[in-house]
């Protein structure tokens, strides 16, 4: 397993909202590592598109030191916003994640509040809020 693959595996294990900074020695190494990580993410989309979509891979510099930064977003890029001609705005989701739906359903049945559920599974779409909490 390459070094990039090992860092990618560590990034997948991160909790949502966490960021990993991988130190590099120069800009060439930074660019090469970033490109390898982007390729790994591109290939991982065939395995788990949702998790791959949560990873943001960029070059970074802090205190004159170079890094490759991997941030795990709280929410994948599967949620959009629609604005109708009357100006009413609502969220929509591309995700049809059966596991997520099951988790939300069970937590709502167990009496968890909407805020508690969002802490666990991430932000709920308007559709999910309406379906499980009547909001």
CB 71 within 8 A of CB 55: yes
Average pLDDT for consecutive 10-residue bins of the chain (135 residues)? 93 91 96 96 88 90 93 70 82 67 88 87 82 84
φ, ψ dihedrals at 41, nearest 5°: -65, -45
Contact indicator for 41, 57 with CB cutoff of 8 Å: yes
Residue 9, pLDDT score: 94
Task: Tell me how far apart the alpha carbons of residues 125 and 129 are, in angstroms, rounded to a whole number.
Answer: 6
Residue 63 DSSP label: T
Write down the pLDDT at residue 121.
80
Helix 126-133 vs helix 114-121: crossing angle, to nearest 10: 130
82 and 90 Cβ atoms separated by less than 8 Å = yes
pLDDT at 52: 86
């Amino acid at each position: 397993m390459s070094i990039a693959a090992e860092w990618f595996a560590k990034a997948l294990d991160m909790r949502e909202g966490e960021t990993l900074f991988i130190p590099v020695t120069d800009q060439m190494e930074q660019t090469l590592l970033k490109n390898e990580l982007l390729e790994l993410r591109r290939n991982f989309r065939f395995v788990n598109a949702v998790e791959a979509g949560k990873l943001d891979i960029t070059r970074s510099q802090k205190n004159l030191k170079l890094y490759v930064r991997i941030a795990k977003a709280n929410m994948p890029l599967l949620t959009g916003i629609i604005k109708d001609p009357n100006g009413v705005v609502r969220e929509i989701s591309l995700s049809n994640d059966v596991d997520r739906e099951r988790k939300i359903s069970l937590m709502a049945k167990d009496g968890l509040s909407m805020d508690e559920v969002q802490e666990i599974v991430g932000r709920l779409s308007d559709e999910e809020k309406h379906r499980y909490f009547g909001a």
